[in-house]
């Protein structure tokens, strides 16, 4: 068995802790402590959805989990939109993060919002309906399950800008994982980090929800990144 590590798993837009279920089971079977969480307003916390929920809310979800659970030497993992969330969290708790892992994730610069990175016309309030599982490239066998679990995303999580986004660069271990799901945004980040000596990079051959499509491979990558 590998040395026991502590993993905090943050889901992307429309998803919740449920999407990491398979990965969490594998990591726990290997003796690790694993904390998958649902961000405010989503999944099992969807009853809290509303215009009061923004990017700061989601950053605090992660920060407060780490603080109240007294977690240290954390492997902090973020999928897709949650790249912004874990970058924001690192501004406050970088001293508790041993490794940061981006799974097909967006990474902001100072002062960027999600809508700046991936431009689209958005309302100023309300909820964003989820993409379909098929649209996210989920394997056919899991599409009905994923479609039954995704929930609308509070739009202000996409509109709020992250004031500072540099602390994550000082975390000792940094990993970027790209899927073969088509997106020039993720490919550009992967190519940038592939050439950086202080980053590890991986490619997983599946759709955007790699923790669902390839849980064994993702779990092994996370363990290697710890």
Q: Which residues are known catalytic residues?
A: 80
**Cα 146 to Cα 86: distance, rounded to the nearest angstrom:** 23
- Residue 168 φ then ψ, to 5°: -60, -25
Q: Mapping DSSP to helix (H, G, I), strand (E, B) and coil, where does residue 68 land? A: helix
How many angstroms separate the CA atoms of 116 and 15, rounded?
Answer: 21
Residue with tokens 């056919």: 140
Note whether 94 and 66 are within 8 A (CB): no
In Å, how far are 3, 26, 78 from 36, measured between CA atoms? Answer: 19, 13, 10
74 Rama sector, left if φ>0, alpha if ψ -120 to 50, beta otherwise? beta
Residues in the chain: 226
Q: Give the dihedral of Cα atoms 76, 82, 88, 93; nearest 10 deg.
A: -20
């Amino acid at each position: 068995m590998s040395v026991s590590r502590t993993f905090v798993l943050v889901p992307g837009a429309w998803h919740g802790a449920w999407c990491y279920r398979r990965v969490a089971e594998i990591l726990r079977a290997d003796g690790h402590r694993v904390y998958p969480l649902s961000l405010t307003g989503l999944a099992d916390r969807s009853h809290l959805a509303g215009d009061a929920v923004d990017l700061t809310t989601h950053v605090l979800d992660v920060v407060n989990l780490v603080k109240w659970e007294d977690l240290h030497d954390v492997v902090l993992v973020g999928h897709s939109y949650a790249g912004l969330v874990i970058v924001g969290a690192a501004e406050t708790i970088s001293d508790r993060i041993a490794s940061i892992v981006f799974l097909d994730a967006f990474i902001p610069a100072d002062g960027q919002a999600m809508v700046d990175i991936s431009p689209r016309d958005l309302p100023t309030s309300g909820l964003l309906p989820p993409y379909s599982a098929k649209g996210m490239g989920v394997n056919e066998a899991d599409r009905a399950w994923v479609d039954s679990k995704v929930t609308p995303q509070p739009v202000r999580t996409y509109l709020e800008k992250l004031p500072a986004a540099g602390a994550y660069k000082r975390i000792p271990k940094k990993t970027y994982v790209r899927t073969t799901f088509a997106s020039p945004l993720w490919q550009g980040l992967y190519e940038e980090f592939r050439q950086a000596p202080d980053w590890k990079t991986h490619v997983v051959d599946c759709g955007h929800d790699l923790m669902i499509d390839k849980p064994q491979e993702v779990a092994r990558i996370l363990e290697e990144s710890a």
